[in-house]
Amino acid sequence: MNELLRRLLFLPRQGTAFARELDHLHFLVISVTVVGATGVAMVGALFLFKYRRRTKVVPVTPRVVVSGRVEAAVITATLALFVGFWVLGFRQYRRLADPPTGALTIYVAAKQWMWEFSYPNGPASAGILTVPAGRPVELLMTSRDVIHSFYVPEFRVKQDVVPGRYTTIWFTPSEPGSYQILCAEYCGAGHSTMRGEVVALSGEDYERWLQGTSRPTDGEADPTSLATVGRRVAAERGCLRCHTLDGTAYIGPSFAGLLGRRERLASGASVLVTPGYVTKSMMDPQADVVAGFKSVMPSYQGLITAGETAAIVELLHSLEDVPRQPEQQVFPEVTGRGAPDGGR
């Protein structure tokens, strides 16, 4: 049935479990609409025939009074249908908005007219996004110039990629294979050539690919120790002057146990700390300041590379289970202790 409807509607194959789910909603809406429209058309045709004029004299049309009950029932049923569609769609939207924990984070930079991918462990590639099949992959995307849109029809995911902002999207390729990436936002003369490819590899093939492409970073040849790279980057870039790694609050919130936490913001809103939020905070620290902290952080936009950003996010991942102390901003005394040392 699924396959029949998919072909009937000219939809590409379903590369993720989410694609299947989304298609089911699509099929439901289409079927209800087709059945409804056919019903209305058939009743119309029936009435045309049944109430055709049979005499030369125009008869007086009797006044038809519909009972309030029938009318209420029809309105309620229609409304329920719409609300039902909305609830199903909203649930899928929520699922798409919240990447599962443990997703592999890959940074995407779009520019006229290509896609660039940076992996947590160093390698970068243009045009081809290599991912493991069966594991959730989260993309943190930004644009270097104009608005683009990351679109993989077979995954049924599409997300605008905006300059100066980070947007996220995630998917879990069901099986190894290759899937087309398109740009779905008109972005200039080369828009139609702005294509790419998702190559999903089996677990072992992916590991082998990773071993083959990772470039050693300053003696840290082990590509799995990206958190170590993140620790070095955080120290070099000055992050550790304000953020500790042991769970105590300092000038900024501690990096420990930060990812996955719900933080209250100075604005009163609350936010789930995701790699997207962390990245945004690095690029635009004034935007969403955690309550209890003064906004003193400079922007790192353009100062750190996508790979370094990924490494810091990975460092935070490695500290997810470290317990935290109560949140309170601490300012060092002028003559007192200096920056907390980063290695703790």
Residues found near ligand CUA in the complex (CB under 6 A): 113, 148, 183, 185-187, 191, 194
Q: Compute CA distances 67 → 36, 47, 63, 70, 71, whole Å.
A: 22, 20, 13, 5, 6
- Taking the complex as a whole, the smallest distance from the CB of residue 308 to ligand CUA amounts, in Å, to 25
Per DSSP, what are the bridge partners of residue 20?
none
Shortest reach from residue 191's CB to ligand CUA, in Å: 4
Nearer CB in complex with ligand CUA: 194/251: 194
User: Closest approach of Cβ 283 to ligand CUA, in Å?
Assistant: 21
- Cα four-point dihedral sign 230, 236, 238, 241: positive
Which 8-state DSSP code applies to residue 58? P
Strand order in the sheet with 157-161: 128-132, 195-201, 177-183, 148-152, 157-161
Under 8 Å between Cβ of 163 and 143: yes
**In the complex, what is the shortest distance from the CB of residue 147 to ligand CUA, in angstroms, rounded to a whole number?**
8
Token pair recorded at residue 293: 């902290």
Nearest residue (CB) to ligand CUA, 113 versus 209: 113
Nearer to ligand CUA, 161 or 273 (CB): 161
Shortest distance, CB of residue 162 to ligand CUA, whole angstroms?
12
User: Which C-beta is closer to ligand CUA: that of 125 or that of 329?
Assistant: 125
Task: Tell me how far CA of residue 225 lies from CA of 172, 311, 315, in angstroms.
Answer: 24, 10, 9
Which residue number, 14 or 149, has a Cβ lying nearer to ligand CUA?
Answer: 149
